[in-house]
A = this chain, B = another copy of it.
């Protein structure tokens, strides 16, 4: 309903009672909000005159200052227009076309009681106190220049610490100049793909099955992904050489989702392939910190730092919520990497500095040691429980990492199993979710990072209860 000046009680419109004496600023702010709302929602229509400031001040029993200030504010915002010798008028009207149909919100998923889906470390074991201590220490000690515009490749001191860590702990060939601190593996891959694009590389081989997010990142950076099969020795280099790709991203230490370890022969062959095609290997150092049968295997990047990019993060060791990772690039490509990423942002500097402090104080190594012990015990418990409860299933990819592959009988309906489990509060992941095309191989990807030991037996019992078999087509009711 439109309102004209003459037949209208402004105090009612503006919802102003008796103003408190001596609070003119508060009254001005209230007037601004009330007039703005009335104009935005169409109660005060375009062209309508607002009362002279003296008249409105009298009606509201307030100072004229508050009214003229409020009018001035709304004139500056474009809602009112004042002309000399004329009334101040409303100069704005809301959009009256019907709004777009509102999207219906998705139904809330059932609550998760047990989490056997992959992708998360033990969130309950996040070292909260030490992380907060590290942030407090660096927030106090950072020079004020550190709080300015961040270096897009990462804080120089942090790059030094990360390079030392990667040399010492992962056998990498890394220096501060070749390390970029980034937001994680996806961010590192995006930056790498943009640099490869600038180098004239348009095709990227990706593992199949593999992590869809890496394919998305490659596409988003303008590269065409080419799925290459993974077998029990990791990525099939024989199939790789038949693609037009001159670059490949590979999880050498523990492939996601199959859990295979790239075989020693394939490691060497892959790096030689990169030399032969004048191309690059992008090594996703996924889950590498957690190797249970022997010491963590050093990164391929150290075999040929001129041909291998190395990506890593703390997402699987501390928490994906930290958004901290690294990228080691061939020295000859570090300038191209920066040039290809002109608007890439560094992670927050205080977080970078906290990570460096966390590493330098030995807390990261201590956390990894404790986590490795905990995950080995949990893996053993999960495999024992599966063996006892689901003898028809076969676990694979168990040598490392935070997930295993559980092969199921051929007549299993994994899709229905995942749905039935979700209804019962158990999160699972179907191997098919990581494939471009479905396969005859029925399997679940079971993550044991984010579940407690006592939860494993009831979770496996729920899984057993959720197992669904496919109805053979001939027997289906018509």
Residues of chain A having any CB pair with chain B under 8 Å? 29, 32-33, 36, 40, 69, 72-73, 75-79, 81, 91-92, 94-95, 99-100, 102-103, 119-120, 123-124, 126, 128, 131-132, 135-136, 139-140, 144-150, 171, 173, 183-184, 186-187, 190, 213, 216-217, 220, 261, 264-265, 267-268, 275, 294-295, 297-298, 300, 302-304, 306-307, 319-324, 331-332, 335, 342-343, 345-351, 450
| A297:B77 contact, CB within 8 angstroms | yes
| A275:B95 contact, CB within 8 angstroms | yes
| B136:A123 contact, CB within 8 angstroms | no
Whether A343 touches B213, Cβ cut-off 8 Å, given contacts A147-B321, A149-B120, A322-B348, is yes
| B140:A124 contact, CB within 8 angstroms | no
Q: CB-nearest residue of chain B relative to A167?
A: B33
Bound-complex Cα distance A347 to B149 (A) = 16
| A123:B145 contact, CB within 8 angstroms | yes
Whether A294 touches B69, Cβ cut-off 8 Å, given contacts A92-B268, A321-B349, is yes
The 10 nearest A-B residue pairs measured at CB: A100-B332, A78-B267, A321-B349, A78-B264, A132-B139, A123-B144, A323-B348, A147-B319, A78-B268, A132-B136
Bound-complex Cα distance A14 to B323 (A) = 39
Whether A264 touches B75, Cβ cut-off 8 Å, given contacts A220-B343, A342-B216, is yes
> Residues of B contacting A335 with CB < 8 Å?
103
Q: Which of B79, B100, B150, B306 contacts A321 (CB 8 A)?
A: B150
| A346:B323 contact, CB within 8 angstroms | yes
| A119:B149 contact, CB within 8 angstroms | yes
Copies of this chain per assembly: 2
Bound-complex Cα distance A302 to B81 (A) = 18
Question: Separation in Å of the A454 CB from the closest CB of chain B?
Answer: 16
> Residues of B contacting A40 with CB < 8 Å?
173, 302-303
Q: Which of B144, B295, B324, B342 contacts A220 (CB 8 A)?
A: B342
Bound-complex Cα distance A360 to B398 (A) = 46
Bound-complex Cα distance A149 to B261 (A) = 25
Bound-complex Cα distance A450 to B294 (A) = 53
Q: Which of B91, B92, B120 contacts A148 (CB 8 A)?
A: B120
Question: Separation in Å of the A433 CB from the closest CB of chain B?
Answer: 15
Bound-complex Cα distance A450 to B275 (A) = 49
| A123:B148 contact, CB within 8 angstroms | yes
| B128:A135 contact, CB within 8 angstroms | no
| A76:B348 contact, CB within 8 angstroms | no
> Residues of B contacting A69 with CB < 8 Å?
294-295
> Residues of B contacting A92 with CB < 8 Å?
268, 303
Bound-complex Cα distance A100 to B216 (A) = 31
Bound-complex Cα distance A285 to B335 (A) = 33
Bound-complex Cα distance A310 to B441 (A) = 48
Q: Which of B81, B171, B306, B348 contacts A348 (CB 8 A)?
A: B348
Bound-complex Cα distance A268 to B295 (A) = 66
Bound-complex Cα distance A316 to B196 (A) = 34
> Residues of B contacting A351 with CB < 8 Å?
348, 351
Whether A73 touches B294, Cβ cut-off 8 Å, given contacts A147-B319, A217-B343, A323-B346, is yes
Question: Separation in Å of the A443 CB from the closest CB of chain B?
Answer: 22
> Residues of B contacting A131 with CB < 8 Å?
139, 350
> Residues of B contacting A331 with CB < 8 Å?
99-100, 102
Whether A95 touches B132, Cβ cut-off 8 Å, given contacts A73-B295, A147-B126, A264-B81, is no
> Residues of B contacting A217 with CB < 8 Å?
343
> Residues of B contacting A126 with CB < 8 Å?
144, 147
Bound-complex Cα distance A100 to B331 (A) = 9
> Residues of B contacting A267 with CB < 8 Å?
77-78
Q: CB-nearest residue of chain B relative to A82?
A: B264
Q: CB-nearest residue of chain B relative to A183?
A: B345
